[in-house]
Amino acid sequence: MRSLEKVTKYLVDSGLKLSGPIARRDGENSDLYAFVEVTRDEKGHQKPSNLRLSRLTKELLDDGIVVKFILNDVSNADFETGLRATLLHAFPEFIRNCFLSFDNDGAVVWIVPKISAVREHLGSIANRITIYLGNADITLSEVKLTVDENLPSRTAILSELRISAPTTSEHLAERLSEKGFSTPPIDYINRHLDALRRANHVIRRKDAHYCLTASALKVLGTVKRRSSPDIARFLDLARRGT
């Protein structure tokens, strides 16, 4: 089953829907990359599942063929979602999540690691990312581990929102960057805001602006001095002419 045609037929006969031809990265005996369309059922479960893909990988490996899957989540047009699905399938024991941002040189991929051993696999991770991005003619600029960056915590997000609300997640990310935090991917901020919303600490208005709730103010507490966040908010509102 060495030919690309036979491998393609095997995968299709196994129920996979390929979104493009199988490709070799380098040379005749190199690994194969299969671009697979995945969908979600009514419960949000990925189809085909990572377990199914892993079994197919093992079956092919037993036949001496190394196939690596690049997943295209057709149920969600978000490019980042496909990248996340690809990495969580390929490195489930090392990666908890990932985020995508861009700089002047291309895509920056932020990895949320499960364990420190992920550092030993950054080369393989970067290679898989490069293949995925290359399918969309995007260059990989850098792979970052979130544990190495000064990213804002949920408390920091709440504290800044206390001063700047009502505000969008994009503006909040800019303000946090100005405070000395690493410039976070917008999806990183959105996911934290969503978690805070579920915890009844923030509300999202119809205009996509976020505000604190009374419970969040109770958690943050008050400070009775000139550095009080309430004074900082008053001054910020004055600067904005609100």
- Which residue segments constitute the domains of the chain, with CATH numbers given? 1-75 (3.30.70), 94-148 (no CATH), 154-240 (1.10.10.10)
| pLDDT per residue as tens digits for the range 203-224 | 999 999 999 998 888 888 765 5
| pLDDT per residue as tens digits for the range 106-165 | 899 999 999 888 999 999 999 999 988 887 778 999 999 999 999 999 999 999 999 898
pLDDT-based confidence at 237, cuts 50/70/90? very low
| Residue 139 neighbours by CB distance under 10 Å | 11
Beta strands per DSSP E along the chain: 17-18, 23-24, 32-40, 46-47, 67-73, 95-103, 106-113, 140-145, 202-204, 210-212
Q: Check residues 3 and 196 and name the one with the higher pLDDT.
A: 196
| pLDDT per residue as tens digits for the range 34-93 | 888 888 888 878 889 989 999 999 999 988 888 988 887 766 556 788 899 899 999 999
CA distance 14 to 158: 48
Question: Would you state the pLDDT for residue 171?
Answer: 92
Contact status, residue 182 vs residue 156, Cβ threshold 8 Å: no
| pLDDT per residue as tens digits for the range 15-33 | 999 887 887 765 556 788 8
Contact status, residue 85 vs residue 73, Cβ threshold 8 Å: yes
